[in-house]
Amino acid sequence: MLAEWNVEIGGDAPVLEIPWESADGRIQYFDLKRQPELLLRLPEAGASNELREFLQRLNSPESPWETAKCDLWSSQEIEEEEQIFGSPWKFGSYLDLIFADRKKMRDFSAHERWVQSLARCLRSSPDITAAAELNVRRCFDRREETDVAGFYVTFVLRGYGRDESEARKHWGEALNFALQAIIDSHSSIK
């Protein structure tokens, strides 16, 4: 599996505000850490057993993480840098991860160390036809009386294949490997 990490905190880089809601109000933030039953309201979790398990584990009480956004897609639009996989299809997801501990949420170096460590681990995966991107970005947590300015990680994962089914299979294998790597990486963020 290919894995890269980046820091995107300047200029017009994305910024996450929690809680959030789309302009039309159709999609919104669900606090799955404190209200796990809301997972059933996420269409993405209903569309993928792998993603549902990923969200359950990362939002569990013992996890140092919680999730803020996610999405799934498939496409035949292969970018130049993706052509190394020699596949016409990709199946992808992204998840925005934040530290459940507000003090750690403010710690840029903890985020940077963690994405570096996770990228190394993902690169050591068995031969999975997939690519991961980990991006450290700014966030504002406005869920409590005192706002917290901090950081979050956007985790983008894509599986590739000769058809949509194979691309989704490779994505699922990569997501399962990534889940275990994230759980195992807990010690690198203490």
Q: Which two tokens stand for residue 176?
A: 């399962």
Side chain identity, residue 40:
L
Q: Is 79 exposed, middle or buried (0-12, 13-18, 19+ CB in 10 A)?
A: exposed
pTM comes to 0.94
- For residues 122 and 76, the answer to whether their CB atoms sit within 8 Å is no
Q: How far is CA 104 from the centre of its chain?
A: 17
Other C-beta atoms within 10 Å of 10: how many?
A: 7
Report the chain's C-alpha Rg in angstroms: 16
pLDDT value at position 125? 84
pLDDT value at position 187? 56
Say how many residues make up the chain.
Answer: 190
Q: With a cut of 70, which residues of the chain have pLDDT below it?
A: 186-190
- For residues 92 and 75, the answer to whether their CB atoms sit within 8 Å is yes
pLDDT value at position 17? 94
Q: Residue 8 half-sphere exposure, CB side, CA atoms within 13 Å?
A: 17
> pLDDT tens digits for 74-115?
999 999 999 999 999 999 999 999 999 999 999 999 999 999
- For residues 87 and 130, the answer to whether their CB atoms sit within 8 Å is no
Phi, psi of 146 (to 5 degrees): -100, 120
pLDDT value at position 11? 87
Side chain identity, residue 102:
R
